[in-house]
A and B are shown apart, each in its own frame.
Chain A
Amino acid sequence: MATAQELSNFLAEVERRAYRQTAYAVRDEHAALDIVQDAMLKLAEKYGARPAAEFPMLFQRILQNTMRDFWRRQKVRNLWTSLLSSFGGHSAEDDDEHDPLDTMETGQRSEDEPEAQLERSQTIAIIERAIEKLPARQREAFLMRYWEDMDVAETAAAMGCSEGSVKTHCSRAVHALAATLQNYGFNQQGLKKPGAGS
């Protein structure tokens, strides 16, 4: 049975990654915060008595379910968004059409930022965008296995699917990511100018 201290340690360890993971899925930072907050609370209230070793799997499962609720509610929002854009408003979704190289944080950063730093932030942005574009199940499997370091069995339990599916999702995710990175001219050293390498 887990102590409050163990719960606190666990959450402190995973909360920032959980937030990013959720933001990749819902593409909305405010909603991502709400979802992670709700998931933390549910873990504490409903599963606080479980052994701490089960927290990673339980927390991921709760997170997935909370995201599903979010998607259901999103149905309402998306229609409005498309309507508003037909009225001439700007919607956040417009950004999806842009090439990440154009829209990345470049605009927000100061002009004299060292080139290496800029390149690093571009690399991160491209990879984040590639993660966002993955189908939901592939993204979850990939993040749990390789980012959260969960094993196949834990990941399968959290996703409510077989271990075989986890492996398939992971392998497809890695292939898709590799293909995207190649398109952007990545090699092991990092980022080259897009198009220059191919």
Chain B
Amino acid sequence: MNQQESTVKLVVQALDASVEDLDDEVIRRLATAREHAVSAMQPQWQAAGHAGVFRNLGNYVVHHRMMTSAALLLGALVFGFIVTQHVIGQHQLEQGDAFLLGSELPPEAYLDKGFDTWLQQNAR
């Protein structure tokens, strides 16, 4: 194997691994986005929805038979994370959109290009 091939192989392995390490919140949102997109394509999807999810996951399992036990563990972890995240989420003060909207500087202040220029001209 020459150096280029081994580079590609190493990089692709690392990228694959990075996908396995994805945050469960991200995974959840991607799944939601996917469902939303699919329903935008074809409204009657709703009826076939759950069967679809099953078949879908069935394929996944077949293709990744070797990883099944790891995935099982991951599934359990994901449940744990969801629970803890909900708990943690309640305690994040001053961080949400509500506090951004409620603060004195309005959202436009952060987006107005003219204000940027104004700041730059009066910065020091």
* Physical contact A–B (CB less than 8 Å): yes
Give how many B residues have a beta carbon under 8 Å from the other chain's beta carbons: 43
Whether the pair B38, A181 counts as a contact (CB closer than 8 A) is: no
A110, CB-defined interface residue at 8 Å: no
- Stretch of A9-17, A95-103, A160-168 that contacts chain B: A9-17
A7-B38, A11-B37, A83-B120 known; A181-B19 Cβ under 8 A: no
What are 9 inter-chain pairs, A to B, with CB distance below 8 A? A5-B52, A8-B56, A11-B34, A16-B30, A36-B30, A40-B37, A83-B120, A86-B123, A178-B4
| Alpha-carbon gap, A4 to B15, bound state (A) | 28
Whether the pair B14, A44 counts as a contact (CB closer than 8 A) is: no
Whether the pair B41, A45 counts as a contact (CB closer than 8 A) is: yes
B18, CB-defined interface residue at 8 Å: yes
A71, CB-defined interface residue at 8 Å: no
Which chain A residue lies CB-closest to B63? A13
Whether the pair B48, A5 counts as a contact (CB closer than 8 A) is: yes
Whether the pair B26, A4 counts as a contact (CB closer than 8 A) is: no
Whether the pair A15, B120 counts as a contact (CB closer than 8 A) is: no
Question: From residue 1 to 44 of chain A, which have CB atoms closer than 8 A to chain B?
Answer: 3-5, 7-9, 11-12, 15-17, 19-20, 29, 33, 36-37, 40-41, 43-44
Whether the pair B37, A41 counts as a contact (CB closer than 8 A) is: yes
